[in-house]
């Protein structure tokens, strides 16, 4: 099979959650174990760090990968979904998996796939583990796809687990309360394996605490190890940087700079720093402060990370962010409203299984809207989105594509306007 034929097979013949939604979700690990056994259990051949959570797991994964790369480790990075290229999901030291590797893998194992009928994600993870094992990575940062307990990545035995935070997302699959969702995410906690909890959420902390106690897993609170005290900005070598000020437990003030400019990164950064400290205290990996600094200053260069509070134009300022649930959108809107601007223009699209009403209730009524549809089957009809938005006092025009909506927003904008592009990962994927 050629690479093009391979992609066609992966996209068109396999159930793919990010295109068709819940119908692609497998509520067990049977296929994942079958694939692993068929491949000789590649996930046991390298060290891993496992990351779950409603929001922030992509940022945490990329920060850690960038830092460990700078530390000189051959570092695998598995994330999802991709924005532009399937190969973004599987990287080693920032380099995407070669096309030939994907084509060879699918060609070699296609007959076996047909006997067990795996999903797109199950094959993607099998490919990831197989590639990392054959390339002999020193460590791999593994981001869950959805949930944790039944996620295809959850056959690894990591050095450490991280759960970033819990919000209401994928409620039809993970549960309709924070407790239930937390229970699913807690499924990545392993026997005697340290786990970092990223956000102080007293109402669900007991879920993690109980699971950790049952499995004798040391549990750490990131907000106590590194308590955020504020942010400032600076320009380093012509690049804007966000300086995050922490109160480090037992050490006093600690300031670290990152090129990721979203204010919400304070919480993610606390989880990353906590994880690194635990790895060091346990004698696993010891990274010096200068290496951490380099890693956080060069995330996009080292890992190809995109789409998180990413500025794609200066005049007018255009910012895009992949926030797509209540928790994420609220943080982004808060930051938007703290930026000086003349008119706020919002290019907005969603997929059809999200919490539309509660997300729309967070959006500012005094902005000009450009409603659009991401180019996937799950994309929400922009006319339906606009009708729902009008019920919240949000007014704007309807566009059949993201590119048409952004083009119009740019045409309407003056140099001092602020344009935000978001609502869905798949909207951002079309502009970065």
DSSP state of 101: H
Peptide bond into 81 cis (omega under 30): yes
- Alpha carbon 199 to its chain centroid, in Å, reads 16
Does the pLDDT of residue 24 top 80, yes or no?
no
Instruction: Give the predicted TM-score (pTM) of the model.
Output: 0.96
% of residues, the chain, pLDDT over 90: 92
Question: In the numeric block, which tokens belong to residue 376?
Answer: 């996937």
DSSP state of 216: T
Are residues 44 and 108 in contact, defined by beta-carbon separation less than 8 angstroms? no
Q: What is the mean pLDDT of the chain?
A: 96
Q: What is the pLDDT of residue 129?
A: 99
Q: Which helix (H) or strand (E) holds 345?
A: strand 344-348
Query: What does each C-alpha distance from 33 to 28, 149, 151, 177, 345 come to in angstroms?
Result: 10, 14, 11, 29, 47
> What span, in angstroms and rounded, lies between the C-alpha atoms of 430 and 21?
19
For residue 12, name the pLDDT band (cuts at 50, 70, 90): confident
3-state secondary structure of 91: strand
pLDDT in tens, 379-404: 999 999 999 999 999 999 999 999 99
Q: What is the pLDDT of residue 353?
A: 80
Region 116-129: mean pLDDT is 96
What structural domains and CATH numbers belong to the chain? 3-220 (3.40.1190.10), 310-428 (3.90.190.20)
> What span, in angstroms and rounded, lies between the C-alpha atoms of 138 and 75?
6
> What span, in angstroms and rounded, lies between the C-alpha atoms of 427 and 80?
15
Q: What is the pLDDT of residue 18?
A: 64
pLDDT in tens, 298-357: 999 999 999 999 999 999 999 999 999 999 999 999 999 999 999 999 999 999 888 899
Contacts of 206 (CB under 8 A, 6+ apart): none
Q: What is the pLDDT of residue 339?
A: 95
For residue 171, name the pLDDT band (cuts at 50, 70, 90): confident
Closest to 55 measured CA to CA, from 239, 273, 308, 254: 308
Query: What does each C-alpha distance from 149 to 55, 160, 184, 268, 350 come to in angstroms?
Result: 17, 16, 5, 22, 27
């Amino acid at each position: 099979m050629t690479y093009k034929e391979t992609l066609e097979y992966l996209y068109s013949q396999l159930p793919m959650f990010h295109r068709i939604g819940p119908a692609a979700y497998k509520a067990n690990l049977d296929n994942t174990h079958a694939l692993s056994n068929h491949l000789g259990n590649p996930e046991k051949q390298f060290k891993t760090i496992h990351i779950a959570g409603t929001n922030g797991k992509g940022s945490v994964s990329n920060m850690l990968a960038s830092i460990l790369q700078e530390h000189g480790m051959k570092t695998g990075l598995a994330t999802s979904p991709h924005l532009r290229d399937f190969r973004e999901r599987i990287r080693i030291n920032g380099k995407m998996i070669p096309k030939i590797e994907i084509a060879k893998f699918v060609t070699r194992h296609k007959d076996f796939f047909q006997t067990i009928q795996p999903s797109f994600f199950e094959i993607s993870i099998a490919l990831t583990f197989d590639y990392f094992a054959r390339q002999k990575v020193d460590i791999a940062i593994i981001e869950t796809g959805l949930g944790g307990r039944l996620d295809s990545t959850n056959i690894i035995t990591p050095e450490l687990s991280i759960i970033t935070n819990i919000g209401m997302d994928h409620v039809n699959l993970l549960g309709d309360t924070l407790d239930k969702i937390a229970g699913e995410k807690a499924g990545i906690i392993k026997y005697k394996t340290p786990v970092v909890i990223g956000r102080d959420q007293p109402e669900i902390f007991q879920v993690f605490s109980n699971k950790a106690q049952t499995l004798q897993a040391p549990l750490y609170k990131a907000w106590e190890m590194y308590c955020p005290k504020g942010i400032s900005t600076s320009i380093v070598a012509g690049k804007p940087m966000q300086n995050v000020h922490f109160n480090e437990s037992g050490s006093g003030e600690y300031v670290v700079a990152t090129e990721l400019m979203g204010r919400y990164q304070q919480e993610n950064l606390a989880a990353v720093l906590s994880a690194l400290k635990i790895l060091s205290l346990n004698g696993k990996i010891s990274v010096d402060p200068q290496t951490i600094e380099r890693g956080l200053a060069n995330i996009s260069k080292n890992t190809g990370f995109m789409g998180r509070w990413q500025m794609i134009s200066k005049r007018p300022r255009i910012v895009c962010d992949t926030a797509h649930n209540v928790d994420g959108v609220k943080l982004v809107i808060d930051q938007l409203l703290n930026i000086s601007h003349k008119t706020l223009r919002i290019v907005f699209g969603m997929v059809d299984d999200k919490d539309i009403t509660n997300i729309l209730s967070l959006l500012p009524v005094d902005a000009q809207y450009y409603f659009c549809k991401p180019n996937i089957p799950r994309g929400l009809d922009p006319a339906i989105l606009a009708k729902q938005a009008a019920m919240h006092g949000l007014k704007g025009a309807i566009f059949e594509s993201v590119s048409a909506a952004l083009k119009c927003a740019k045409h309407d904008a003056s140099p001092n306007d602020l344009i935000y592009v978001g609502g869905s990962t798949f909207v951002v994927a079309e502009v970065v």
